[in-house]
Amino acid sequence: MKPFDYVRAESREDALRADGRVIAGGTNLLDLMKLEVETPDRLIDVTRLDLREITRQENSLRIGALVSNADLAADETVRRDYPVLSRALLAGASAQLRNKATTGGNLMQRTRCPYFYDTTQPCNKREPGTGCQAMEGFNRILAILGTSDKCIATHPSDMAVAMRALDARVEIESPTGETRMLTLDEFYLLPGDTPEKETVLEPGELITAVHLPEPPKGKQAYRKVRDRASYAFALVSVGAVIDVQGGKIAAASLAFGGLGPRPWRNADVEEALVGETPSDAVFDKAADVLLADAKGFGANDFKIPLTRRVLKAVLSDLTGVSQ
């Protein structure tokens, strides 16, 4: 690990003033620093800041950026009103990691692309301009949607998938004290020509919270498929909220993990479902829309049919209509 200065921020002002890299749970950043994939000169420890509360506000639930993944999953309001989020969190990592991992850090965690982790290999995300070794290499876990010819990495978070399905917004504070609120689609960038830039977060900005709107109507589910039953990243995951009224789908919200560089959501897929009587054919049509532009890179080709099956299984569970 490269040496760094360590600064313990005692207040938000401290953190926003100090010029350096934020560390919260450290479960992703320290891992990458040990491998010298990340080499910050200065770490700003924000863990003593007052951002650990989950508070009910007028039209939202405000989750402080330092709320641990474990506390968020176990929160009684979240379990009752936003079960898709509780389930997604519980599907991620291990109990030990969830105790340390934070809401802000989880959103900001970096890809698990094996070449990104290996500093002896070219990787446009780690070292812009060096090439993408994954495109023709080991890409089993990598993306089929939203890729570019520079990078095919996936965003690995389970939590963010559920938050995307719930229309969460990220609260960001800038060094000048201004606050802005962004949806996750606004927050995460597609790789394009600059895969090293993953979010719109500017240097010096701090994620202070995530807001969930009023609980949506309908049933919620999180389904994750992975290479082992627990303690593994998603190959494909679906976070879903489906409301059936009078035999027809009244509302649908679907976000996907393991498919793209950000938690993937496509309004056309939901449009294909809303107003329809749930059936195998309708589910297939939604999958067609989702996968219309899907592109495999060899070892991850299997994700295309797998995504269809997982989506159909989730829709079938939530609507009570067998495939």
Partner 1 sequence: MKITLSVNGEERSLDVDPRTTLLDALRDHLDMTGSKKGCDHGQCGACTMLVNGRRINSCLALAVMHEGDEVTTIEGLGEPGALSPLQKAFVRHDGYQCGYCTPGQIVSAKAMIAEFSNGWPSYVSDDLEAAPDFSEAEIKERMSGNLCRCSAYPGICAAIKDAAPEEGLNEREAAE
Ligand X SMILES: Cc1cc2nc3c(=O)[nH]c(=O)nc-3n(C[C@H](O)[C@H](O)[C@H](O)COP(=O)(O)OP(=O)(O)OC[C@H]3O[C@@H](n4cnc5c(N)ncnc54)[C@H](O)[C@@H]3O)c2cc1C
Site for ligand X in 187-246 (CB under 6 A): 206-207, 233
Task: CB nearer to ligand SF4: give 115 or 187.
Answer: 115
**Nearer to partner 1 among residue 60 and residue 99 (C-beta):** 99
Tokens of 252: 């649908």
Smallest distance, Å, CB 5 to partner 1? Answer: 8
Distance, in Å, from the CA atom of 224 to the CA atom of 257, rounded to the nearest integer, reads 8
The residue (of 1 and 267) whose beta carbon lies closer to partner 1 is: 1
Query: Which CB sits closer to ligand SF4, 105 or 191?
Result: 191
Q: Is 64 in the site for ligand SF4 (CB under 6 A)?
A: no
CA distance 71 to 82: 14
Among 109, 111, 121, 319, binds ligand X (CB under 6 A): 109
- Calpha distance 59→214 (Å, rounded): 6
x-or-dash string of contact with partner 1, 57-76, rule CB under 8 A: -------------x--xx-x
Q: Which does 318 bind (CB under 5 to 8 A by kind): ligand SF4, ligand X, partner 1, none?
A: none
| Under 8 Å between Cβ of 294 and 307 | yes
Instruction: Kindly identify the residues of this chain, within the stretch 228-247, that bind partner 1 according to CB under 8 A.
Output: 229-231
β-strand partners of 173: 179, 206
The answer to whether the beta carbons of residues 98 and 73 sit under 8 Å apart is yes
**Quick check: 47 binds partner 1 (CB under 8 A)?**
yes
- Of 86-145, which residues contact ligand SF4 (CB under 6 A)? 111, 113, 115-116, 123-125, 132-134, 142
What is the rounded distance in angstroms from the CA atom of residue 79 to the CA atom of residue 58? 19
Q: In terms of residues, how long is the chain?
A: 323
Residue 103: Cβ-neighbour burial (10 angstroms; 0-12, 13-18, 19+): buried
Among 28, 111, 124, 133, interactor with ligand X by CB under 6 A = 28
Yes or no: say if 172 and 104 are a contact pair by the CB < 8 Å rule: no
- Give the chain's count of helices (H) and strands (E): 13, 11
Binding site for partner 1 (CB under 8 A): 1, 3-6, 8, 23, 25-27, 30-31, 34, 43, 45, 47, 70, 73-74, 76, 79-80, 83, 86-87, 90-91, 93-97, 99-100, 229-231
